[in-house]
Amino acid sequence: MNPNRAANIPFAVNAESPRASRELASALVSALWEAKKDNHAGLMVVCIGTDRSTGDALGPLVGSILASAAGFPALVYGTLDQPVHATNLQQVIRQLQYESPDNLVIAVDACLGAPESVGNIVVARGALRPGAGVNKNLPPVGDVHVTGVVNVSGFMEYFVLQNTRLGPVMRMARTIAAGIALAARTWEMSHAEAVTAAAGPGPGQCRPVSGLPPELPEPWFPHPASP
């Protein structure tokens, strides 16, 4: 869990917005293209957190949804059954670096923030620093990261996480999973087009994708209606 306030970020959307997952996907694709490595082979998603705390379960919930989605075109680390947390994060990072050093990594985590930011989903370039707000010296992870503001920061953070309502966290997890799923499919298509254009004859060039093509279907996990 990363309890830093969500401030000075490039993109944020409220999880209850009807188009939240699609806007999240568009922001993710743009961030991935900016973070693109020369020889990257694909995407990985690392979802950080634990099922022992309702607030901090956001990451494992997202990971479980993605891991169970048929045809999801990325490797997923961090689920309810096999969470990625402070104890094993270093080991997971070493595994990523050894097995697929050229892949782009999307890191997902819960965070605490200002009252007005609760419910927001944040997308930013660069590595996520889990535990930084509670003085945990954990290694950074990810080329792009997604954080969900699940509750208010500033006082007894661990107690706040333990007493965060599960319903909003679950809805946020579905929205984040839907956005990542659509972004991964869009990224896979755009990368395949880039490889084809580079290898094929003629002067054709592949334009970087900064948004979502309108012909793409809606993501696997539609945004659920609020109760």
**pLDDT tens string 9-42:** 469 999 999 999 999 999 999 999 888 876 666 8
CA distances in angstroms from 133 to 111, 136, 211, listed in the order given? 9, 7, 32
Give the residue among 135, 139, 174, 168 at the shortest CA–CA distance from 4. 135
**pLDDT tens string 97-149:** 888 888 899 999 999 989 999 999 999 999 998 876 555 778 899 999 999 99
The Cα angle at residue 16 between residues 222 and 209, in degrees rounded to 5: 60
What's the DSSP call for residue 116? G
pLDDT at 209 over 50: no
Q: Which domains does the chain have, with CATH numbers?
A: 11-199 (3.40.50.1450)
pLDDT at 44 over 90: yes
**pLDDT tens string 165-206:** 999 999 999 999 999 999 999 988 876 665 555 555 554 444
What's the DSSP call for residue 128? B
In angstroms, rounded to a whole number, what is the distance separating the alpha carbons of residues 112 and 6? 8
- Token pair belonging to 44: 């990985």
pLDDT band for position 207 (cuts 50, 70, 90): very low
CB atoms within 10 A of CB 28: 25
Biggest distance spanned by C-alpha atoms of the chain: 61
pTM of the model: 0.82
- Read off the pLDDT of each residue in 62-75 and give the average, rounded to a whole number: 93
Give the pLDDT score at 22. 95
